[in-house]
Amino acid sequence: ILNVEQSPQSLHVQEGDSTNFTCSFPSSNFYALHWYRWETAKSPEALFVMTLNGDEKKKGRISATLNTKEGYSYLYIKGSQPEDSATYLCAFITPNSGNTPLVFGKGTRLSVIA
Amino acid sequence: NAGVTQTPKFRILKIGQSMTLQCTQDMNHNYMYWYRQDPGMGLKLIYYSVGAGITDKGEVPNGYNVSRSTTEDFPLRLELAAPSQTSVYFCASSETGATNEKLFFGSGTQLSVL
């Protein structure tokens, strides 16, 4: 069974604080890692798709890094704003995932307090 | 483009009833997916389709059926609803299913089986 672990499960930060959270995945046979942002009552939206070890991606105040050798990705949010409040999902693709092409973690729920 | 459209947004079923969750996309995507999201759990794949006329089971297919008669539509059928099927259901699509391709999600259907 392939597991994608996200930590922490939830966190609360003050507006203006920077924060980060982790996605851990099996380091063998890596294909790609996806990050999605899911606001309550809306559709999950893709933030990043990362495929290469050492990849760094940035979108505004949000950035992500990827280490495929040790099996983790970090998502960073600089200067958190209330509109950043959402659940952040990571998903991992491996040729070993059988009939589940994309294996999702349980998400990190971020609340930004004004 | 409307993207991925799911209906209904909310539904309450009695045990043993049947219903169809509708999903349509207007992006001419080949791949379509149905996921369920249970509290505290990651998205679990129910069924997916790589093109019209082709469907495959995901991780949790029991109790569900799908069909893909056109590229645009991928309905999910519950034949005999059970309380264990209370969940939030998401339909998603991607253009070619490539590992570096992001998924586009619908807005979800919240289903309660009582």
Nearest neighbour of A42 by CB, restricted to B35, B102, B107: B107
Percentage of chain B modeled with pLDDT above 70: 100
Please report residues of A whose CB lies closer than 8 A to that of B101. 49
Q: Characterise A41 by phi-psi region: left (phi > 0), alpha (psi -120 to 50), beta (else).
A: left
More confident residue, A11 or B97: A11
Which residues make Cβ contacts (< 8 Å) with residue B8, sequence separation at least 6?
A: B21, B22, B109
Picking from A42, A43, A49, A59 by the largest number of B CB atoms within 10 A of its own CB, the best residue to mutate is A43
Both structure tokens of A48: 């990043």
- Residue B42 main-chain phi, psi, to 5 deg: -75, 170
Picking from B103, B104, B107 by the largest number of A CB atoms within 10 A of its own CB, the best residue to mutate is B103
Q: Minimal Cα distance from B89: which residue of A?
A: A43
> What are the tens digits of pLDDT across the range A27-80?
887 889 999 999 988 899 999 999 999 999 999 999 999 999 999 999 999 999
Per-residue 3-state assignment (H helix, E strand, C coil) for A68-82: CCCCEEEEEECCCCH
User: How far off is chain A from B18, nearest CA to CA, in Å?
Assistant: 24
Task: Decide if A106 and B42 are in contact by the 8 Å CB cutoff.
Answer: yes
Q: Minimal Cα distance from A97: which residue of B?
A: B59
Please, which pLDDT band fits residue B40 given cuts at 50, 70 and 90?
A: confident
Label residue A5 exposed, middle or buried (CB < 10 Å: 0-12, 13-18, 19+): middle
Instruction: Supply the pLDDT for residue B42.
Output: 85
Please report residues of B whose CB lies closer than 8 A to that of A46. 102-104
Give the H/E segment covering residue A23.
Answer: strand A19-24
Task: Decide if B107 and A45 are in contact by the 8 Å CB cutoff.
Answer: no
Q: For residue A111, is pLDDT > 60?
A: yes
Instruction: Supply the pLDDT for residue B97.
Output: 79
Residues from B contacting A (CB-CB < 8 Å) are: 4, 35, 40-45, 48, 56-59, 90, 97, 99-108
**What is the average pLDDT score of chain B?**
94
Both structure tokens of B42: 């990651």
Lowest mean pLDDT among A98-112, B8-22, B94-108: A98-112
Q: For residue B2, is pLDDT > 90?
A: no
Instruction: Supply the pLDDT for residue A27.
Output: 83
Q: For residue B25, is pLDDT > 70?
A: yes
Give the H/E segment covering residue A7.
Answer: strand A5-7
Instruction: Supply the pLDDT for residue A97.
Output: 56
Q: Closest Cα to residue B42, out of A75, A55, A24? A: A24
Please report residues of B whose CB lies closer than 8 A to that of A44. 43, 90, 103, 105
> What are the tens digits of pLDDT across the range A1-33?
568 999 999 999 999 999 999 999 988 878 899
Instruction: Supply the pLDDT for residue B49.
Output: 94
Task: Decide if B99 and A43 are in contact by the 8 Å CB cutoff.
Answer: no
A8-to-A11, A65, A87, B43, B110 alpha-carbon distances in Å: 7, 17, 11, 17, 26
Q: For residue A103, is pLDDT > 90?
A: no
Instruction: Supply the pLDDT for residue B101.
Output: 87
Q: For residue A94, is pLDDT > 90?
A: no
> What are the tens digits of pLDDT across the range B66-88?
999 999 999 999 999 999 999 99
